[in-house]
Amino acid sequence: MKVLVVGSGGREHALCWKISQSDKVEKIFCAPGNGGTSEVAENVTLDIMDNDELADFAEENEIDLTIVGPEAPLVNGIVDEFEERGLKIFGPGKKTAKLEGSKVFSKSILKKYNVPTGKAEIFDDPHAAIEFIKGQDWVRVIKADGLAAGKGVYVCNTEEEAIDAVKEIMVDKKFGGSGNNILVEEKLTGEEASFLVFTDGKTIIPMVSTQDHKPVYDNDKGPNTGGMGAYGPAPVVTDRLHKDIMEKVMKPVINGMREEGTPYKGVLYGGIMVTDEGPKVLEFNCRFGDPECQPIVMLFKGDLVPVLESCIDGTLDKQDVEFHDGASCCIVLASGGYPIEYNKGKKIRGIIKADSFKDVKVFHSGTKSENNEIFTDGGRVLGVTSRGESIKEAIEKAYEVVDLIDFEEMQYRKDIGAKALDR
């Protein structure tokens, strides 16, 4: 079969890499791909926000299965366009992708189906939001309603910071129309975890729990990024907590979306805060996380393709999903200055040697290939991902390989997985 993977990040390289191991697959295309996806797929220059262009390509090239990596095309309705043409595609439709595309919509679903989450109020006027914040000392999280590449959430320590966040989002329009509406929320205390499931709208199968590291610097300092590293399984998600998340979060939301007349198919990713009162939802994503996808595929046992197909076909209950014992760790190597201003075009050295290590894969994100050499081409450049018998072994192995890679102004966190080791 022929497969098209939509996207250009580390997540898409990881998916292409895993899919390339399937006996069912003879050809993979990646649109637009990066310097790493070209190892296992044919990169094709397509606009991922042009549904017609993507669907035309799928028809002309007789694509049997399309897998959408990023959130923006899903929110843009790519699944609806493909399904109208009778093309098989993995991911939620436009109405269900609103769980990520609109934080206001997502919060309304959580409230309607009694899913535990933080207190919140919605505003479409910055002056009203600011006046409300002045009278409520629990408001310390400000969120842009729409997509903001993982950077539209401000976790504030003071009233002044919260007011400044409102101004950045609603007055300065840092995220454009995504900031026309905002959520002002209470700041939940606890430890975060990422909890992803496969679903066909009825059956729900959990993946390995993971933990992302959003802030750019060690000890969770600095501005939020798309993610500076991840590991799994996350020890904070105990067996008891796992059961609670399935029963109190995933089942009510999946069943609720079906009751709404819009069954959710694909990956549902819950950003969970583990509080003293139990799990509470911070946000939903409607796709594999990046970098969470990297450790997940490293630990996934067997062929991923039939699982993806069964989510589309409504036959997920017939799939036996297994993960390897042990753990996996992904460390993101980023351009200096990311997530604000950074330079591109830096030559990367050491990837071939790093990739030769057993149970290690260097997934490309912001890279491009020129004359058989690899150069930086984005903020998050590479994701060094390892597998080990324990989380300690996986972390040590990943950092050992990181030391082999170098490019000018390279930055990365030195404490990925530290919370797991503390436990």
Do both 311 and 340 map to the same domain?
A: no
Do both 197 and 286 map to the same domain?
A: yes
- For the chain, residues with pLDDT lower than 70 are none
Burial environment of residue 20 by CB neighbours within 10 A (0 to 12, 13 to 18, 19 or more): middle
Residue with tokens 């589309």: 312
In this prediction, residue 339 carries a pLDDT of 94
CA distance 155 to 116: 19
Do both 161 and 226 map to the same domain?
A: no
Do both 294 and 372 map to the same domain?
A: no
Judge whether 242 lies within some domain.
yes
In this prediction, residue 148 carries a pLDDT of 84
Hey, is 76 helix, strand or coil?
coil
Burial 225-251 (b: 16+ CB within 10 A, else e): bbbbbbbbbbbbbeeebbebbbebbbb
- Find out whether 178 and 147 touch, Cβ atoms under 8 Å: yes
Show which of 79, 94, 109 is a domain's final residue.
94
Judge whether 308 lies within some domain.
yes
CA distance 348 to 370: 11
Could you give the C-alpha distances from 81 to 9, 39, 78, 85, in angstroms and in order? 23, 29, 5, 7
Q: How many CA atoms lie within 13 A of 292 on its CB side?
A: 27
Do both 221 and 146 map to the same domain?
A: no
Judge whether 117 lies within some domain.
no
How wide is the angle at C-alpha 184 spanned by C-alphas 183 and 186, nearest 5°? Answer: 125
Do both 54 and 25 map to the same domain?
A: yes
Do both 240 and 148 map to the same domain?
A: no
Number of domains into which the chain is organized:
4
**Conformation bin of residue 276: beta by default, left when phi > 0, alpha when psi is -120 to 50:** alpha
Domain containing residue 19: CATH number: 3.40.50.20
- Could you report the per-residue pLDDT of 16-64, keeping only the tens digit for each? 999 999 999 999 999 999 999 999 999 999 999 999 999 999 999 999 9
In this prediction, residue 150 carries a pLDDT of 72
In this prediction, residue 135 carries a pLDDT of 80
Domain containing residue 171: CATH number: 3.30.1490.20
pTM equals 0.94
Q: Give the closest residue to 37 by CA, choosing from 29, 49, 48.
A: 29
How wide is the angle at C-alpha 346 spanned by C-alphas 344 and 351, nearest 5°? Answer: 120
In this prediction, residue 151 carries a pLDDT of 77
Domain that holds residue 406: 327-422
Domain containing residue 287: CATH number: 3.30.470.20
Do both 311 and 368 map to the same domain?
A: no
CA distance 318 to 337: 47
Q: Helices in 61-137 by DSSP H: which ranges?
A: 71-75, 78-84, 94-101, 103-112, 126-134
In this prediction, residue 348 carries a pLDDT of 98
